[in-house]
């Protein structure tokens, strides 16, 4: 009797999995969404060295349409912004937004990349997320030359913009990889 029951249950489970299409997706191109609130995906003080302070954060879950700027007409379902500072010359600002669809997110990222290419030098290196851009430029602030970085990337329908001033490009790559790792935990 037990063997027959195990056989019936096994057959039933195989049919359910087959009919639902519940096979695990490993190809990043097939990812459609991040199944988590985006405010838990970004950098936190725990991710940064002890010198950093949180300068502000905002989490908005109200749908809105961007009305101006490079992302005009992009529909945003959820947005999280946070800023951090360490000393006078290290500033990090992060903006994470969930677009209405993966396609909308791809379009928004491409618009940002086009805009950034006009003012920043693209750095070589590995891609973060499904698609990314890391640019840098030297700026003068209070008589000191510093490097400003702009990192934009996306996974599924979530777009990340990480910008700021740091002494090291490696820092911004690492910050991007931390957010990427957080996002990958919730990909569907």
Q: Tell me whether residue 52 is in a domain.
A: yes
pLDDT at 152 over 60: yes
Q: Tell me whether residue 113 is in a domain.
A: yes
- Contacts of residue 108, Cβ cutoff 8 Å, sequence gap at least 6: 71, 74, 99, 154, 159
Whole-structure pTM value: 0.80
Answer yes or no: are the C-beta atoms of 151 and 176 closer than 8 Å.
yes
Query: In this predicted model, what pLDDT tens digit does every residue of 118-132 receive, in sequence order?
Result: 999 998 877 899 999
Q: Tell me whether residue 26 is in a domain.
A: no
Residues of the chain with pLDDT > 70: what percent? Answer: 84
Q: Strands 158-166 and 90-99, how do they pair?
A: antiparallel
pLDDT at 90 over 90: no
Task: Give the pLDDT score at 12.
Answer: 31
Beta-bridge partner residues of 97: 79, 159
- Contacts of residue 111, Cβ cutoff 8 Å, sequence gap at least 6: 70, 71
Query: In this predicted model, what pLDDT tens digit does every residue of 44-58 receive, in sequence order?
Result: 999 997 789 999 999
Distance CA 117, CA 95 (A): 19
Q: Tell me whether residue 8 is in a domain.
A: no
Q: Tell me whether residue 4 is in a domain.
A: no
Beta-bridge partner residues of 157: none
Structural domain count, the chain:
1
Give the rounded distance of the alpha carbon of 79 from its chain centre: 11
Range of the domain at 77: 31-184
Q: Tell me whether residue 2 is in a domain.
A: no
Q: Tell me whether residue 146 is in a domain.
A: yes
Tell me the CATH number at 61: 3.40.1000.70
pLDDT at 167 over 90: no
Q: Tell me whether residue 92 is in a domain.
A: yes
pLDDT at 157 over 50: yes
Task: Give the pLDDT score at 32.
Answer: 83
Of residues 21 and 82, which shows the higher confidence score? 82
């Amino acid at each position: 009797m037990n063997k027959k029951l195990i056989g019936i249950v096994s057959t039933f489970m195989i049919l359910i999995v087959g009919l639902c299409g519940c096979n695990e997706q490993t190809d990043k191109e097939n990812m459609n969404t991040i199944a988590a609130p985006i405010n838990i995906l970004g950098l936190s003080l725990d991710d940064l060295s002890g010198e950093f302070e949180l300068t502000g954060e905002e989490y908005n879950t109200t749908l809105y349409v961007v009305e101006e700027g490079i992302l005009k007409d992009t529909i945003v379902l959820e947005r999280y912004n946070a800023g951090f500072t360490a000393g006078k010359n290290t500033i990090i600002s992060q903006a994470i937004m969930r677009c209405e669809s993966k396609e909308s997110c791809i379009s928004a990222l491409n618009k940002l990349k086009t805009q950034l290419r006009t003012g920043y030098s693209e750095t070589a290196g590995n891609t973060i997320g499904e698609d990314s851009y890391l640019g840098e430029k030297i700026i003068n602030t209070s008589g000191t030359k510093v490097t400003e970085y702009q990192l934009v990337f996306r996974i599924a329908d979530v777009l990340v913009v990480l910008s700021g001033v740091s002494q090291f490009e490696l820092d911004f790559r690492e910050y991007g990889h931390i957010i990427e790792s957080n996002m990958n935990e919730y990909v569907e």
